[in-house]
Amino acid sequence: RDSNVISQNVSNQQEIVESSFDIGEKGEESNDNPHNSDFDGHLPAGQHLLVDIKNVDSEFLNSEHRLATAMVELITESQLTLLSYHCHSLVPIGVSCAGVLLESHVAFHTWPSEGVIVMDLFTCGSGKLIPILPLIKQLFGVGAEGEDLEEPVLNWSHKLRGFREGFVPDYDPTRNPLDSDTGRFVTGRVQDDIKLPVLSASTDFQTVDVYELMDPTTRNVNNFYKSLEDDGSYESLHPEHFGPNRVLLLDGVIQSTLFGDAPYHESIVHPAMITHPNPKRVAIIGGGEGATLREILKH
């Protein structure tokens, strides 16, 4: 059965699933195969994508065949190379699967009664793993039928593994957003209840990334969902107090956040502007996100 699944799904390689989120090394040249970049090459380095999904259909999570099919499709669509795999049904319930890749491995374990699947995908080279998150949710975030059941929820983190400095001549981690603030404070965190890419773009001068994040230590995700309802509750009448934070990064370095924007930029602009009797000309040094200019123009 495993051989049939492989032959049916691996025979036609397809292009990697596109996403609004497309993070890679700055200045990376395009390549028909996104896993053949020379940036990491044969270095002792790779990328690790960790994914946890809850509220998943229990029958799907207990089906060795459906899970194996989903895993092979994930590998095929991601343009990875499957060498072999094995899925094993557990007693009394649950499934464990592991796939050996030319690039490394993919593995997951399920808890059908709890509706949970936990997965990790590790690859060598600099092929982009984060853009396949929508495909992972599509293939493995199978919701159960029923009006009152919660939608599947996906939490994830992405980490650079191994060693680059000392193995790549003139390697500069500041030119790799995943090796700076983006990796340390955004993509590398697994505890956020919400972690959504809003924008990822590059100009001739810099890379720009914007994320929506909800840290459970500062915001309650259930209150946020309640604020989206039209039930007359305090949360729904004041949704501005319960939404996720937004983080702006330039070249992988955090510049400002939605919750910290006002106190930071107001405090560095208004005391000087108010103290000056008649300001006409202002020099802004390093105001890449434009917030300092915004506050100055209020005068």
Note the pLDDT of residue 56: 97
Count of other CB atoms within 10 angstroms of residue 71? 24
What single-letter amino acid sits at 23? Answer: I
Of residues 216 and 27, more confidence is placed in 216
The tens digit of pLDDT for each residue in 40-56 reads 557 888 999 999 999 99
Percent of the chain whose predicted confidence (pLDDT) is above 70 = 85
For residue 186, give the DSSP letter. Answer: I
Residue 246 has pLDDT above 60, yes or no: yes
The tens digit of pLDDT for each residue in 79-98 reads 999 999 999 999 999 999 99
Residue 191 has pLDDT above 70, yes or no: yes
Q: How confident is the model at residue 249 (pLDDT cuts 50, 70, 90)?
A: very high
Average pLDDT along the chain: 84
Q: How confident is the model at residue 33 (pLDDT cuts 50, 70, 90)?
A: very low
Q: What is the pTM of this model?
A: 0.76
Q: How confident is the model at residue 30 (pLDDT cuts 50, 70, 90)?
A: very low
Residues 6+ apart with CB under 8 A from 77: 14, 16, 17, 132, 135
Residue 25 has pLDDT above 60, yes or no: no
The tens digit of pLDDT for each residue in 219-240 reads 899 999 999 999 999 999 999 9
Residues 6+ apart with CB under 8 A from 57: 115, 142, 143, 144, 145
Note the pLDDT of residue 282: 93
Instruction: Quickly tell me which residue has 């089906």 as its tokens.
Output: 63
Residues 6+ apart with CB under 8 A from 254: 181, 185, 247, 248
Note the pLDDT of residue 207: 87
